[in-house]
A and B are shown apart, each in its own frame.
Chain A
Amino acid sequence: KKKEKEIWASKWPNLFGEYLGNSAGSEQASGPSTESYPRTVPDEHLLSLKFVFGSSAIQALDLVDRQSVTLVSSPSGRHVYQVLGSSGKTYTCLASCHYCSCPAFAFSVLRKSDSLLCKHLLAVYLSQVMRTCQQLSVSDKQLTDIILTEKKQEA
């Protein structure tokens, strides 16, 4: 139970980094690294990802392959992830803690508690580790609108 709470308080990228056996965890404090070569996930880890996350793992890897994850950052240093879902809708995932604006997160994770995350969050964490995020720079004002308007889509 404590482990779960720690996970919610922003430990996911670190966990993934440790789990996949590279140093991705170290970039957590300073934001995403500028180093941009892609990494691959070894086969045995792919199997366990599938074991732990079920069909979400495949869908998330598919999103990563299609480069659907974008790291949006502003000069302030604040940043947020946007994931282009398979339906063509864009969802916002907060960078510092566990939140996605998609309906599956609201239903399966928050309301029913029968999954730990949605495919978009999993895709974000995977692409952090694999360093395959698209990068987008916006103004501080635009970043505010991105973080704020994602709410209205759901309302």
Chain B
Amino acid sequence: MAEILRRVLSGSGAAGPGEENTAEAGPPLLLLGAPGSGKTTLLFAAALEVAGEGRGPVLFLTRRPLQSLPRRTEAGLDPLRLQKIRFQYPPSTRELLRLLCSAHESPGPTPSLLLLDGLEEYLAEEPGPQEAAYLAALLLDTAAHFSHRVGPGRDCGLVVALQTQEEADSGDALQLALLQRYFPAQCWLQPDTPGTRERCLRVCLEPGGLGPRAEWRVTFRPDGEMMITPWPTQTGDPSSEKGSSSGGQP
């Protein structure tokens, strides 16, 4: 799934159906960031990207309807693409589990991408490790079933957004380690250069063993528009992987 995000972030957008976009989806990806770090916006951008590929619809699971459609710099909000994004709003963990377990019963075209926003809200209802593993495993199993249904050479990708806490306790760390076992690829959204009027984020993509790690800077302008640029220096210092305070120099 890292490839989709890489395309979104690199602005090399879907040129149309076919082409190299038929590549396999890659390992399931966990999108991590603090509240308001733009996870939903990035998920939605991934949805639009895949919706423009001429493949199956995108299934977007989230607890509640999006407040507003995130703005995009390009002609992303094409109605034809929007129509291919199917939103479903499971109101509780139980309903989410039911939806995933019965995914094979639903008729209609098979999704080419499965997205879940706000995993933390569902996990908060049933915080045990087995419950978290069950939910993660079911997400993978559902995507695997969709992949099986679309046939050989095509996969259903999976991206799940999880809100991280500013001050994670040991329980959060355990839960994250557990989820990382199921989601080999990760994308971290970290706040950068606080204090300016524009919100800046450092986006770090670790594609799970299939390629080099990559970084971008995402800026949300005051009017809500999202600007993406490659991270200036690709130093890739592994020591400051997590600390949001360590990235002092832009």
Contacts and interface: CB of A to CB of B under 8 A. Distances in A.
Contact-residue size bin, chain B (C-beta under 8 Å from the other chain)? 20 to 34
B191 interface: no
A151 B100 CA distance: 13
Nearest to B129: A110
B137 interface: yes
B89 interface: no
A89 interface: no
Nearest to B140: A97
A5 B105 contact: no
Interface residues of A, number: 34
A94 B101 CA distance: 11
Given A29-B152, A148-B97, A148-B98, A97 B182 contact: yes
B184 interface: yes
Contacts of A140: 104-105
Interface of B: 27-28, 97-98, 101-105, 128-130, 133-134, 137-138, 140-141, 144-145, 148-149, 152, 178, 180-184, 208-209
Interface of A: 2, 4-6, 8-10, 29-31, 74, 76-78, 80, 94-99, 101, 105-106, 110-111, 140-141, 143-144, 147-148, 151, 154
Would you list the 6 A-B pairs with minimal beta carbon distance, nearest first?
A96-B144, A99-B137, A76-B104, A106-B130, A78-B104, A148-B101
Given A5-B208, A110-B129, A151-B134, 9 more contacts: A5-B209, A6-B209, A29-B152, A78-B148, A97-B140, A106-B128, A106-B130, A143-B104, A144-B105
